Amino acid sequence: MHQVNISILLLLCSINGCISSTAPSRPSTTFPYYQHDTDKPLPYNLRGGSTVSATKLKQKRRQRKRPQLIQNVHQITIQLHHNTEQQLKQLQSQIDEEWAKFLTNLPKLQFKQSNSKLDAVCHSFSSVYANSRIDMASLLKACRAHLSLMKSAGSSLKLVAKDLESNLNKAEKLYNSHPECHHLSSLLELEREMNIHNGSVLKDPSAAMGLLWIRRSLSFQSDLYSSLLTKSIHPREAAMMAYNKHLKPYHGWALGKLFSASLTQMPEREAFIAKFGGVGVDELNEASDREVVKKLRSLVESWDPMLDCWKEDFDRLGLEDIRRV
């Protein structure tokens, strides 16, 4: 029985082998994936549609896998690369334009840096007079700044500057001892109550005597600076006119001769403007001239009401000493 079963199995295997050998062969569906030349087109598209190359198929697969952000960055990089030359030209043009502006304004910038003394005087005096009162601390500080400016103007104002410094020391001595006297009027009242003056005959040295001559000196300077605002008069002539009005009536013969000789050394207007501007005469231009004139006008305008109040305080307290010295 066992032998019969074996015979039947062998017969069935033989029949199956015959059928397999006589059946037509079927093309393998794995053929395209084993090609070594990936640039050759596939015989057909496995997913249907038109025939594509393996290279394009790989590119499409990579594009599907690439995040959108990476694609955007890539596109921007390409765009920047193409625009680099144009951007550099625009940047160079902007640099040239800004450099030209800088060179144009360079003399003006140097002028603004070098005339700090005139700026300091204008700034200091702007806070001296307020509410019909003269602040004593601000006044002394401003006068010190003005003294520095006068010394920088050269030998023509040397004698006037020396006189201002001497009188400034007299006023500072009393104020430093009584800083509670915040205003000019209160300081003058304090000294008058000390009974050191004989009516309008002031003791010298004293704060009142120093402040009296400081006021007269600033009145002289105010007229001189006003003449520099225009080119109509020589500073020498303007200085003599200012001296005759504000100082000569109170100077004796010897002092009058000394001051008159000193004022005859007044330089040309351009030299004054250049000194106050902190530049050389050859560096002076129209812009720097206008700038100095503007500041001098502002200074003189701030002095006018202050000097009027100053004179009123002396008259009210009976301290206007008109004697010659």
53 lies in some domain: no
Residue bearing the bigger pLDDT, 249 or 51: 249
Residue bearing the bigger pLDDT, 228 or 108: 228
285 lies in some domain: yes
187 lies in some domain: yes
User: Which residue from 34, 59, 66, 29 is spatially nearest to 45, judged by alpha carbons?
Assistant: 29
26 lies in some domain: no
Q: Which of 11-15, 54-58, 241-245 has the highest mean pLDDT?
A: 241-245
Residue 229 three-state SS: coil
- Token code pair at residue 71: 């694609």
Mean per-residue pLDDT for 221-234?
Answer: 94
Residue ranges making up the domain that contains 283: 110-191+201-317
Condensed to tens digits (0 to 9), the pLDDT of residues 63-106 reads 555 555 566 656 666 665 666 667 777 777 777 777 676 666 65
Mean per-residue pLDDT for 216-234?
Answer: 95
Name the percent of the chain in helix, strand, coil, to the closest 5.
70, 0, 25
Q: Is 210's pLDDT higher than 80?
A: yes
pTM: 0.66
Condensed to tens digits (0 to 9), the pLDDT of residues 142-167 reads 999 999 999 888 788 889 999 999 99
Percent pLDDT > 90 in the chain is 55
Lowest mean pLDDT among 115-119, 156-160, 184-188: 115-119
Number of domains in the chain: 1
Q: What one-letter code names the amino acid at 54?
A: A
What CATH number does residue 209 fall under? 1.10.3520.10
User: Which residue from 156, 148, 143, 157 is spatially nearest to 117, judged by alpha carbons?
Assistant: 148
Tokens 């806070």 map to which residue? 127
223 lies in some domain: yes
Q: What does the pLDDT read at residue 62? A: 59
Q: What one-letter code names the amino acid at 210?
A: G
CA distance 7 to 213: 152
Q: What does the pLDDT read at residue 30? A: 44
Q: Is 31's pLDDT higher than 60?
A: no
Condensed to tens digits (0 to 9), the pLDDT of residues 254-300 reads 999 999 999 998 999 999 899 888 888 888 899 989 999 999 999 99
Contact 284, 272 (CB under 8 A): no
30 lies in some domain: no
215 lies in some domain: yes
220 lies in some domain: yes
Mean per-residue pLDDT for 156-179?
Answer: 94
